[in-house]
């Protein structure tokens, strides 16, 4: 039987290359079969090739191409379609209303099949490529690596806070482990004096919580499984500024290993219409959706906003 090899990405060529897990564990060195470059830190990421999509029979995405590589030594925009990011990566999807921001996120999150083209994820011990014709069941891959947060909280009204959180831990058999994880993640999303009422909040129903508490606990739902990639579709779209900053900080803490104190590599991809999200999250690059999808720097975005402001004057 052939030994299973991990598919990882060369930080120079951005192509997926097989690497023996034992070699990674012992020497932590792999060689790219194309450029022959040896690299110590395995990288992973996403490649979208010629993807297209429709919404209510109207084409909103066409010929989308970009490549995101995670785990590089520094963030580098190689061109309009290729981006290298360090660990703790954050990438906002921005653009005008109706250009297909959410649709694009659903495609790369495997919630919607692309009408044309291909999407490929390459992780350390797993990989998955799919298009409109792929019939393979991708739910296990998505469940293993991804999680989702939405604009409207996903708490079930008839369940308590604890039951809403435990609901996502069906893969665990020990009740003690479920309880510990639930209390730990809840403690991370509660603020100030709320932490003193943790035991009470666990047994409350969503309608007994404030809007901010509901949104933070809904985010805890998405984080409790500690995914590799968190997708968020306008998670702060309907929130006031104070609550929005709280939610953004929680997502930032998660991707920077402050929620779970470990060295796991994580990626946050979120759709936003807030012009200052890149400042709140301290990102250098965005994925901008218009007639075409391009990776842009925040400097480009600031110049774009300045041009729009001058046109209005």
Mean pLDDT of 99-105: 92
Measured between alpha carbons, how far is 112 from 262 in angstroms, rounded to an integer?
Answer: 32
267, β-bridge pairs: 89, 229
Structure tokens at 69: 């590589």
Sign of the C-alpha dihedral computed for residues 96, 60, 121 and 77 taken in this order = negative
Measured between alpha carbons, how far is 103 from 245 in angstroms, rounded to an integer?
Answer: 25
**Contact by Cβ (8 Å): 68, 43:** no
92, β-bridge pairs: 270
Measured between alpha carbons, how far is 307 from 301 in angstroms, rounded to an integer?
Answer: 10
pTM comes to: 0.83
Summarised one tens digit per residue, pLDDT across range 18-62 is 555 444 444 455 666 666 666 555 678 999 999 998 877 778 898
Domains, the chain: 43-152+231-312 (3.40.50.300)
Summarised one tens digit per residue, pLDDT across range 3-15 is 344 455 555 555 5
Question: Largest Cα–Cα distance in the chain?
Answer: 70
Mean pLDDT of 125-148: 80
Summarised one tens digit per residue, pLDDT across range 159-212 is 999 999 998 888 777 888 889 989 999 999 998 899 999 999 999 999 999 988
Count CA atoms within 13 Å of residue 305 on its CB side: 12
Question: Using N-to-C axis directions, what is the helix angle for 211-223 and 175-189, rounded to 10°?
Answer: 130
User: What pLDDT does 4 receive?
Assistant: 41
φ, ψ of residue 46 to 5 degrees: the values are -135, 140
Structure tokens at 90: 């954050």
**Contact by Cβ (8 Å): 116, 110:** no
Summarised one tens digit per residue, pLDDT across range 249-289 is 999 999 998 888 777 889 999 999 888 898 889 999 999 99
User: What pLDDT does 21 receive?
Assistant: 46
Count CA atoms within 13 Å of residue 16 on its CB side: 19
User: What pLDDT does 39 receive?
Assistant: 57
Percentage of the chain lying above the pLDDT 70 cut: 85
Q: Where is pLDDT greater, at 33 or 149?
A: 149
Mean pLDDT of 79-108: 91
């Amino acid at each position: 039987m052939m030994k299973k090899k991990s598919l990882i990405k060369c930080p120079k060529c951005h192509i997926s290359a097989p690497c023996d897990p034992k070699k990674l564990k012992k020497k932590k060195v792999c060689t790219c079969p194309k450029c022959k470059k040896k690299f110590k830190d395995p990288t992973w990421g996403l490649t979208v090739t010629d993807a297209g999509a429709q919404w209510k029979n109207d084409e909103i995405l066409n010929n989308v191409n970009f490549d995101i590589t995670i785990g590089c030594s520094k963030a580098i925009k190689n061109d309009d379609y290729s981006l290298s990011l360090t660990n703790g990566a954050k990438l906002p999807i921005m653009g005008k209303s109706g250009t297909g921001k959410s649709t694009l996120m659903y495609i790369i999150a495997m919630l919607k099949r692309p009408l044309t083209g291909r999407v490929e994820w390459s992780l350390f011990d797993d990989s998955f490529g799919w298009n409109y014709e792929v019939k393979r069941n991708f739910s296990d891959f998505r469940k293993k690596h991804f999680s989702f947060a939405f604009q409207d909280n996903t708490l079930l009204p008839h369940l308590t806070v604890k039951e809403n959180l435990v609901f996502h831990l069906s893969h665990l058999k020990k009740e003690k482990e479920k309880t510990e994880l639930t209390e730990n993640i809840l403690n991370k999303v509660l603020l100030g004096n709320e932490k003193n009422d943790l035991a009470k909040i666990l047994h409350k129903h969503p309608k007994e919580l404030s809007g901010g508490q509901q949104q933070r606990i809904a985010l805890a739902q998405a984080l409790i499984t500690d995914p590799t990639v968190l997708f968020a579709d306008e998670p702060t779209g309907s929130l006031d500024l104070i609550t929005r900053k709280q939610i953004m900080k929680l997502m930032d803490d998660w991707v920077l290993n402050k929620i779970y104190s470990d060295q796991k590599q994580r990626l946050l991809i979120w759709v936003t219409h807030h012009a200052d999200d890149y400042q709140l999250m301290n990102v250098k690059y965005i994925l901008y959706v218009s007639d075409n999808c391009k990776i842009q720097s925040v400097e480009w975005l600031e110049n774009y906003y300045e041009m729009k402001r001058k046109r209005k004057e």
